[in-house]
Chain A
Amino acid sequence: MTATVGQQAQAAARANDVWKVYGSGEAQVIALRGVSAEFERGRFTAIMGPSGSGKSTLMHCLAGLDSVTRGTVAIGETTVTGLGDGGLTKLRRDKVGFIFQQFNLLPTLTAKENILLPLSIAGRKPDPAWYDTVIDTVGLRDRLDHRPAQLSGGQQQRVACARALVSRPEVIFADEPTGNLDSRSGAEVLGFLRNSVREHGQTIVMVTHDPTAAAYADRVVFLADGQIVSELIEPTADTVLDTMKKLDTPAEVGS
């Protein structure tokens, strides 16, 4: 099953017949069963599915955090499958940004230092104009010298978003970015994730199980049982919820 939207050449991330099998024998678990998908440049894609559907695994494989059992994964022009540690590090450094559910900021660094960390690790200077834009977008200008412990959860997640945005990666992977936030902070974060796509042409792939969060995306891909079972373009919370409900009833699965 292939879900293709837009021109192939413009895909920021691509999965081609990806299988992921954990364990062997009795304990074998097939997390992904031949998933093929493309995520085009400049769009905000959500991956949804019930628990155990393989949505997080798919994202980890796409981002090069996990290896695939079969099939290939590519980010932009780079084939991720088969890259060594050095190659994967370079890929993460230059082409991929991450936003995690648990924020994952370094407690010893200030907000500003956390934001600039990927660039300093890569030994690059930030583009000042873009840096200002990002800071203003996330609205953290007056919090830059604070340490993570001095920031609220929403602020910490905005720092994490800024960190992902500032290096202008090919694609940002967000793993339940609002999972640890209250609904207002969550809405703020989702709002500027969408803005960064609309206004700055950023590519974002977000894993979520929250229909409201998914409604911020341009497109939603639904996974069940390790396979892509459905997708929605220009979703709303209601259409997402409807689709999810259908997925929950195995008889209706099948598209």
Chain B
Amino acid sequence: MFRATLKSLLARKVRLILSGLAVVLGVMFVSGAFVLTDTLGRSFDSVFADGFSEIDVNVAAKPKVELSEMEGEQTAAPLPAAVVDRVRQVPGVASATGVVNADGARVIGSNGKVVTSFGPPQLGENWTGESDLLKLREGRAPQADDEIVINKGLATAAKVQVGQKVGVLTAFESKKRDFTLVGVFGYSGDRDSIGGVNEVYFTTPVAQRLMLGAPDAFSSITVQAADGVSDEKLRDDVGRTLGADYEVKTGEQVAADASASLKEGLSFFNKILLGFAAVALLVGTFLILNTFSIIVAQRTRELALMRAIGASGRQIIGSVVLEAIAVGLIASVLGLAAGIGVGALLAFLFGKLAGGLTLAGIGVPAAAVIGSFAVGLVITVVAALLPALRASRIPPIAAMQDVATPDRPLTKVTIAGSLVTGIGAVLLFLGLSGNAGGQTLATILGGVLFAFIGVALLTPLISRPVVSLLGVIFSWSVPGKLGRLNSGRNPRRTAITAAALMVGIALVTGVTVILDSAKGSISALAQDTIKAELVISGQQGGPRPPSFDPGVLDQAKALPGVRLVDGEYGDMAKLDGKSTWVAASSDIASLRQIFGAKATAGDIDRLGPTQMLASSDEATARGWSVGSTVKVQPTRGEVRTYTISGIYESSQLTNPVTLPVQAAKDFTIPQPIQGFIQLAPGARVADVQPQVETLLADSPEVSVADRDAFIKQQTGQLDGLLTMIQILLALAIVIAVLGIINTLALSVLERTRELGLLRAIGLRRGQTMGMITVEAVVISVFGALLGVAVGTGLGAAVVEALKDEGITDLILPWGQMGVFLGLAAIIGVVAAVLPAVRAARINVLGAIAHD
């Protein structure tokens, strides 16, 4: 039996390659995700280990607002210079150096634009001398207040040279300031940067003033241990001396912590990739199921013969499953190998994009290997089980007769399909209506999965009328008509092939519906709400949003034709112990008018220095009312108590809390990040915009745009997200295309004699290819139609569920749907190429004699 199985596998290797390919692609995604995140994780480890290698013990003040990686960058509170002296007194300390090190030193390149880092921070630091790690490559250390040195990577990106004047935006100065570049440094191992971080070194007083906003303050203290004192002991000694307000860690701990928070982000990324792998594998399952079904159908006679000569039903199942295991095993190995390649490539691209992250060697974590084999084998065997079961039910008599396998009735499949679809719908409803009891995401995903399988089971029933209707388009020609009839010939096979395409298209359509609706709802709301003709803002390129000189706000207010100006500040802060996004407004009355805010309680037209406003949602959630007092701990500075003086109605555009402008000086970025300008009646945008642009000459990070451009820019992020999802889901569609090729190839093989006959009675080669192409196009367009329908349904359900979140308009992307259908037709044509060529090449005589 084993030998027989292997022989039949080898005889059918071409047919199995395509279905195996689907598994290869899915497994590739799985192993690629693991390899990528493992490689990047170890690269970050080594970057941080390097960056902190010169530090024995590090002292920092506890951050005032603790944030997770997903909430934003954490800002360390500055510590007073006196602490450095206290540390120096601790026995065992060889040296203690106060270090300034803060994000927000942005160099203006020779082209007048701010150099962005695409991810890593842009640090402003105080020069404390060279070390084993850091060496000047050119020039000298900064000595005067207007001198800086920068790392080689930044100098290259900014295209500046030693001796030149370089403009720098700093955290605490509202305007750019010019410095003389006196030196360029690099790191050991000939590196131009560590992990793509841009660095600017000032003299210590300048760094303290511009990066920390306080004289005689430091971000942290770097401690070197005296000979014979271990890092751990020194850490404990220093910690005891300083007390609980300070975080004292060894250099290794700091490196591990810094790396861990980045890895938190990576693991999220890993989950997303695995999610797409799951989609690819779901589609692959359909493909394998179909291939094995067809192979079993073709082998009916052979299998019946085996039964007739004494093989048991169990042996038959075993032989099919064995075949599946062999395919799964080979596909897993190939998928793993391909995944390692893809993971390495992506890591390389990521490193390039992140400004030259030095990659650790490519590693293959055990999770990648185990995941690949588990997924590849399980999927293949599960998909082959049904066909195996069917094979075991072939009666031995089928060997003697030419039993045309009768069309099995679709009743059972239809009932099962309705049931599974029903379960999916119920799960979706529970998940979306928030009744899933804490398992919302799992319930929704389960619902989507069930819905897909259910619809796939119902597809054979739908396929008959729809396919014959679709085919009518092609029925004007004989090959077209034959192709149409062929596609309706085996509803199950057509259905599964189309269902594979359905999954990919449905997900893309669903996501498009949701994101388009979100985009449409938000821009409609913004159009209605924002009564500002001009908006000042910039594109965020790193962890820190672009900001501008608050003086611009006053100067803009003075321009002729400007009626109202409001500058918005924002940061995370702790309100009564809970982290919340807080905003501050330069002019609360203008803010109210520009955003048309409505008061639900109190007065929202003015705000005293100890008063704050809250949105109605936030007030309800926290149990606040007018007169309540709230303790606010900003990222820097002391806790202040504010009294709520007004509550405004919540909308998508409102901030949970608005503080007076005075509060902004304790924000991480004490400068406005957005500005809204309302023009006086009769003033023209074209007149005012250039004047505001002139005002922004010293704030090159931001620009002024009219309202439509601003809204487009804001919602543009959703477009980027949509494109990314579409690219990832394209893989699922590629696998579905393989499925169509596979089905067609097998059909062509099955119908060899028929094709021979058609050629014998005068069908030209071109016409034969046309016939196969029509069959493919009908199947793929059918799949796309299903996908668009199911996707629209899913998307609409989610949009409906998000009504309370402000997605009020259901926007159906008709254009996109049309594109998908057109794409499906093209996919059909492409998928048909190989099978069609094969069909056209059939030897007429051989085909007719074929039995």
A-to-B contact residues, CB < 8 Å: 60, 65-66, 85-86, 89-90, 92-94, 97-98, 100, 102, 104, 106-109, 117-118, 120-123, 149, 163
Q: Is the CB of B845 within 8 A of A60?
A: yes
A94-B848 Cα distance, complex, nearest whole Å: 20
8 of the cross-chain contacts (CB-CB < 8 Å) are A86-B765, A89-B764, A100-B757, A104-B753, A106-B758, A117-B761, A120-B478, A121-B761
Which of A65, A90, A122 is B760 in contact with, Cβ under 8 Å?
A65
Q: Is the CB of B404 within 8 A of A65?
A: no
Query: Which residues in B have their C-beta under 8 angstroms from that of A102?
Result: 753
Q: Is the CB of B763 within 8 A of A104?
A: no
Of B758, B759, B845, most A-chain CB atoms within 10 Å? B845
Q: Does B762 contact A (CB under 8 A)?
A: yes
Q: Is the CB of B482 within 8 A of A108?
A: yes
Which of A108, A118, A122 is B485 in contact with, Cβ under 8 Å?
A108
* Interface residue total, chain B, C-beta cutoff 8 A: 22
B-to-A contact residues, CB < 8 Å: 404, 478, 482, 485-486, 488-489, 753-754, 757-765, 767, 844-845, 848
A163-B758 Cα distance, complex, nearest whole Å: 12
Query: Which residues in A have their C-beta under 8 angstroms from that of B848?
Result: 65, 100, 104
Of B489, B754, B844, most A-chain CB atoms within 10 Å? B844
Known: A65-B848, A100-B848, A108-B486. A92 touches B762 (CB 8 A): yes
Query: Which residues in B have their C-beta under 8 angstroms from that of A92?
Result: 759-762
A102-B847 Cα distance, complex, nearest whole Å: 12
A107-B765 Cα distance, complex, nearest whole Å: 21
What total count of A-B pairs have CB within 8 Å? 62
Query: Which residues in B have their C-beta under 8 angstroms from that of A90?
Result: 762
Query: Which residues in A have their C-beta under 8 angstroms from that of B761?
Result: 92-93, 97-98, 117-118, 121, 163
8 interchain residue pairs of minimum CB distance? A93-B762, A108-B485, A65-B845, A104-B757, A118-B761, A120-B478, A92-B762, A89-B764
Query: Which residues in A have their C-beta under 8 angstroms from that of B404?
Result: 149
Q: Is the CB of B762 within 8 A of A106?
A: no
Query: Which residues in B have their C-beta under 8 angstroms from that of A65?
Result: 760, 844-845, 848
A86-B757 Cα distance, complex, nearest whole Å: 16
Query: Which residues in A have their C-beta under 8 angstroms from that of B763?
Result: 89, 121
Which of B478, B489, B753, B762 is A89 in contact with, Cβ under 8 Å?
B762
Closest A residue by C-beta to B756: A104
Question: Closest CB-CB distance, A59 to chain B, in whole Å?
Answer: 10
Which of B485, B488, B764, B845 is A86 in contact with, Cβ under 8 Å?
B764
Closest A residue by C-beta to B762: A93
Closest B residue by C-beta to A94: B762
A40-B548 Cα distance, complex, nearest whole Å: 100
Which of A97, A100, A121 is B478 in contact with, Cβ under 8 Å?
A121
Of A60, A86, A89, A123, most B-chain CB atoms within 10 Å? A89
A166-B554 Cα distance, complex, nearest whole Å: 94
A106-B489 Cα distance, complex, nearest whole Å: 11
A107-B482 Cα distance, complex, nearest whole Å: 11
Known: A98-B760, A118-B761. A106 touches B754 (CB 8 A): yes
Q: Is the CB of A66 within 8 A of B764?
A: no
Q: Is the CB of A106 within 8 A of B764?
A: no
| 5 further A-B pairs in the complex, CB-CB below 8 A; given A85-B765, A92-B761, A122-B762 | A65-B760, A86-B764, A89-B765, A93-B761, A94-B762
Query: Which residues in A have their C-beta under 8 angstroms from that of B765?
Result: 85-86, 89
Q: Is the CB of B760 within 8 A of A106?
A: no
Closest A residue by C-beta to B767: A121
Closest B residue by C-beta to A98: B760
Q: Is the CB of B478 within 8 A of A117?
A: yes
Query: Which residues in A have their C-beta under 8 angstroms from that of B754?
Result: 104, 106-107
Q: Is the CB of B845 within 8 A of A66?
A: yes
Closest B residue by C-beta to A63: B760
Query: Which residues in A have their C-beta under 8 angstroms from that of B767?
Result: 121
Closest A residue by C-beta to B757: A104
Known: A60-B845, A65-B848, A121-B478. A108 touches B489 (CB 8 A): yes
Question: Closest CB-CB distance, B563 to chain A, in whole Å?
Answer: 74
Query: Which residues in A have their C-beta under 8 angstroms from that of B764?
Result: 86, 89
A117-B489 Cα distance, complex, nearest whole Å: 18
Closest B residue by C-beta to A160: B757
Closest A residue by C-beta to B768: A89
A106-B481 Cα distance, complex, nearest whole Å: 12
A109-B404 Cα distance, complex, nearest whole Å: 16
Query: Which residues in A have their C-beta under 8 angstroms from that of B482?
Result: 106, 108-109
A120-B757 Cα distance, complex, nearest whole Å: 15
Query: Which residues in A have their C-beta under 8 angstroms from that of B759?
Result: 89, 92
Of B485, B757, B765, most A-chain CB atoms within 10 Å? B757
Query: Which residues in B have their C-beta under 8 angstroms from that of A122?
Result: 762
A86-B764 Cα distance, complex, nearest whole Å: 7
Query: Which residues in A have their C-beta under 8 angstroms from that of B757?
Result: 98, 100, 104, 106
Query: Which residues in B have their C-beta under 8 angstroms from that of A123?
Result: 478
Question: Closest CB-CB distance, A83 to chain B, in whole Å?
Answer: 13
Query: Which residues in A have their C-beta under 8 angstroms from that of B478?
Result: 117, 120-121, 123
Closest B residue by C-beta to A173: B760
Question: Closest CB-CB distance, B493 to chain A, in whole Å?
Answer: 14
A65-B757 Cα distance, complex, nearest whole Å: 11
A172-B485 Cα distance, complex, nearest whole Å: 28
A85-B843 Cα distance, complex, nearest whole Å: 11
Question: Closest CB-CB distance, B663 to chain A, in whole Å?
Answer: 77
A145-B142 Cα distance, complex, nearest whole Å: 97
A122-B753 Cα distance, complex, nearest whole Å: 20
A93-B651 Cα distance, complex, nearest whole Å: 73
Question: Closest CB-CB distance, B489 to chain A, in whole Å?
Answer: 6
Of A90, A108, A123, most B-chain CB atoms within 10 Å? A108
Question: Closest CB-CB distance, A220 to chain B, in whole Å?
Answer: 24
Closest A residue by C-beta to B763: A121
Query: Which residues in B have their C-beta under 8 angstroms from that of A100?
Result: 757, 848
A89-B765 Cα distance, complex, nearest whole Å: 8
A90-B488 Cα distance, complex, nearest whole Å: 29
Question: Closest CB-CB distance, A173 to chain B, in whole Å?
Answer: 10
Query: Which residues in B have their C-beta under 8 angstroms from that of A104?
Result: 753-754, 757, 848
Query: Which residues in A have their C-beta under 8 angstroms from that of B844?
Result: 65
Query: Which residues in A have their C-beta under 8 angstroms from that of B762?
Result: 89-90, 92-94, 118, 121-122
Question: Closest CB-CB distance, A75 to chain B, in whole Å?
Answer: 13
Question: Closest CB-CB distance, A151 to chain B, in whole Å?
Answer: 13
Closest A residue by C-beta to B753: A104
Closest A residue by C-beta to B406: A149
A243-B767 Cα distance, complex, nearest whole Å: 46
Question: Closest CB-CB distance, B837 to chain A, in whole Å?
Answer: 13
Query: Which residues in B have their C-beta under 8 angstroms from that of A89?
Result: 759, 762-765
Query: Which residues in A have their C-beta under 8 angstroms from that of B753?
Result: 102, 104
A94-B764 Cα distance, complex, nearest whole Å: 12
Query: Which residues in B have their C-beta under 8 angstroms from that of A118?
Result: 761-762
Closest A residue by C-beta to B485: A108
Closest A residue by C-beta to B759: A89
Question: Closest CB-CB distance, B851 to chain A, in whole Å?
Answer: 8
A100-B762 Cα distance, complex, nearest whole Å: 15
Which of A60, A85, A121 is B758 in contact with, Cβ under 8 Å?
A121
A106-B754 Cα distance, complex, nearest whole Å: 7
Question: Closest CB-CB distance, A190 to chain B, in whole Å?
Answer: 21
Query: Which residues in A have their C-beta under 8 angstroms from that of B485?
Result: 108-109
A90-B844 Cα distance, complex, nearest whole Å: 14
A94-B767 Cα distance, complex, nearest whole Å: 16
A94-B761 Cα distance, complex, nearest whole Å: 9
A86-B768 Cα distance, complex, nearest whole Å: 13
Query: Which residues in B have their C-beta under 8 angstroms from that of A163?
Result: 761
A89-B754 Cα distance, complex, nearest whole Å: 16
A97-B488 Cα distance, complex, nearest whole Å: 29
A122-B760 Cα distance, complex, nearest whole Å: 12
A149-B767 Cα distance, complex, nearest whole Å: 26
Closest A residue by C-beta to B840: A85
Question: Closest CB-CB distance, A251 to chain B, in whole Å?
Answer: 33
A109-B488 Cα distance, complex, nearest whole Å: 12
A104-B761 Cα distance, complex, nearest whole Å: 11
Closest B residue by C-beta to A65: B845
Query: Which residues in B have their C-beta under 8 angstroms from that of A94?
Result: 762
